[in-house]
Amino acid sequence: MITLLFESLVESPLSFRMRPRKLDEIVGQQHIIGPKTALYKMIVNGHVPSILLYGEPGIGKTSIAKAIAGTVNMPFVSINATTAGKKDIENAVRQAEVEGSLILFVDEVHRFNKAQQDYLLPHVEKGLITLIGATTENPFHDVNPAIRSRCGQIKELQRISREDMMTLLLRALTDSTRGLGSLDIEIADEALEIITQSTNGDARSALNILEDVVIASKEVDVEKIIVPIKTVEECVENKGFSHDKKGDIYYSLLSCLQKSIRGSDVNAALHYLARLIEGGDLTSIIRRLIVIAYEDISLAAPEVAVRTVTACEAVERLGLPEARIPLANVVVDQCLSPKTNSAYKALDMALEDVRKGYTGEIPLHLRDAHYKGAKTMGHGIGYKYPHDYPNGWVHQQYLPDELKDKEYFQPKQSGQEKQYAKVYERLKDLFDGK
């Protein structure tokens, strides 16, 4: 009897069976759909706006859409933009006309083609169809603006916290209708913690692993299912981390690495480096570290750029896993080095002037004089060659007249830049005749 019951439960995945039917059953994502949010209040009052849900796989986009439909008791149609054609949308529109309205959930909505979009959007505007789109990509980068403009709500979902994940797993273990509650299961808190930690906020993976470990732990003709820790460890192996190298999270990780180094937080920088290494794209890591050496450390410790380039060359030669060793060295070196951005900021100010047309005429004495006839045009006449003077410096104007008093470079008192600042101030004094 227990075997038949067990087999009936696993006909569909646990993650599918445990999807929330109404808003109040949603675990996590309280920042966008919790009882105190405007979106929750709109929905319980019967108004469902078109929404874009953005976030990593497995954190509840489809579940939220279905819970919304269940809460307002509206017809619900789900399609995937990568496989659905115009006919699928036509069928949804016809059903909406019969039903009066419906919620159309479009997974991978960033893949919508023009034909699908052009047919659907007028019906969204009329209110016949409420569109809930889901995407793993940043909607401001990858979703067509026409779709974005019809969705009054754009919500970014977050990974489910460990506490919420534990709540979800316990709910699945005790729910006798949709979950595993009709089975006699003995599973330690330590086992649930391993599942929670290994799935990194992915609820779908966590529930599917829970089901896997329960099935793997069942002994023939034994009603009580005792889940060994070793079985859990085997089932979660290699589930710890993954990300799309071209996805929005990947670029956010690169940004986090740079900002942690800029903020001199060694532990945070090593954390984000580890996540990027697991992503496997050494080329992007190398490029970002070289940029950091010149953008954030720069004149404060110019020798760091030399060490960074040397380390990055070693990374390219070694490859993973050994490449992690020079990467660790250079990240710690960069974190604990003095920081400045005065050099490139000065250039950015100069570029802004140039782009606005603030250029002026190049002084005649600086113009190229290495051709016949240059002197007749006054080019190069009066130029003073600094090497002919004591200390290699001589007073003369280099900027155009219109910009002769312009100062772009504002040195900071950071690391070796202090020495550059002293030289810069002394040269200004000399130029001013002090």
Condensed to tens digits (0 to 9), the pLDDT of residues 53-67 reads 988 877 888 889 999
- 168 and 151, same structural domain? no
Which pLDDT tens digit goes with each residue over 367-384? 988 888 888 888 989 999
Which structural domain range is residue 324 located in? 248-335
Judge whether residue 235 has pLDDT over 90.
no
Which pLDDT tens digit goes with each residue over 200-234? 788 888 898 999 999 989 888 788 899 899 988 88
pTM: 0.60
- 229 and 193, same structural domain? yes
- 4 falls within a domain: no
- 34 and 146, same structural domain? yes
pLDDT of residue 434: 62
Which CATH number covers residue 349?
1.10.3710.10
pLDDT of residue 244: 52
Which pLDDT tens digit goes with each residue over 327-370? 999 999 999 999 999 999 999 999 999 998 888 899 999 898 88
Of 196, 221, 219, 224, the C-alpha closest to 209 is 196
- Looking at mean pLDDT, say which of 14-28, 147-161, 237-251 comes out highest: 14-28
Which CATH number covers residue 193?
1.10.8.60
- 142 and 48, same structural domain? yes
Judge whether residue 115 has pLDDT over 90.
no
Last residue in a domain, options 296, 312, 335: 335
User: What six digits make up the tokens of 220?
Assistant: 């023939």
Output the CA–CA distances (angstroms, integers) from residue 57 to 154, 204, 247, in the order listed: 17, 8, 11
Last residue in a domain, options 319, 335, 351: 335
- 152 and 194, same structural domain? no
Which CATH number covers residue 315?
1.20.272.10
Of 150, 75, 164, the C-alpha closest to 109 is 150
The backbone region for 234, taken as left when phi is positive above 0, alpha when psi lies in -120 to 50, beta otherwise, is: alpha
Judge whether residue 240 has pLDDT over 80.
no
- 128 and 88, same structural domain? yes
Last residue in a domain, options 125, 156, 187: 156
C-alpha span between 351 and 21 (Å, rounded)? 57
Counting Cα atoms < 13 Å in the Cβ hemisphere of 255 gives 5
- 152 falls within a domain: yes
Judge whether residue 312 has pLDDT over 90.
yes
| Among 235-249, 282-296, 397-411, the least confident range | 235-249
- 173 and 56, same structural domain? no
User: Element (H or E) spanning 427, and its range?
Assistant: helix 417-431
- 219 and 190, same structural domain? yes
pLDDT of residue 171: 93
Structural domain count, the chain: 4
Which pLDDT tens digit goes with each residue over 1-13? 444 445 545 568 8
- 421 falls within a domain: yes
Residue 239 pLDDT class (50, 70, 90 cuts): low
C-alpha span between 196 and 167 (Å, rounded)? 10
pLDDT of residue 222: 83
pLDDT of residue 1: 43
- 48 falls within a domain: yes
Mean predicted lDDT score pLDDT of the chain: 87
| Among 19-23, 110-114, 352-356, the least confident range | 110-114
Please report where in the chains the tokens 């599942």 appear, as a residue: 195
- 401 falls within a domain: yes
- 255 and 210, same structural domain? no
Sequence-ordered list of residues with C-beta below 8 angstroms from that of 386, at least 6 positions apart, any chain? 392, 393, 394
- 145 falls within a domain: yes
- 347 and 322, same structural domain? no
- 151 and 55, same structural domain? yes
- 22 falls within a domain: no
Judge whether residue 194 has pLDDT over 80.
yes
Beta bridge partner(s), residue 76: 103
Please give the average per-residue pLDDT across 318-330, as a whole number: 93
User: What six digits make up the tokens of 335?
Assistant: 């974190």
- 20 falls within a domain: no
- 367 and 294, same structural domain? no
Query: Is 383 in contact with 362 (CB distance < 8 Å)?
Result: no
Judge whether residue 241 has pLDDT over 60.
no
- Note the Cα 359 to chain centre separation in Å: 39
User: What six digits make up the tokens of 280?
Assistant: 């496997």
Please report where in the chains the tokens 């071209």 appear, as a residue: 246
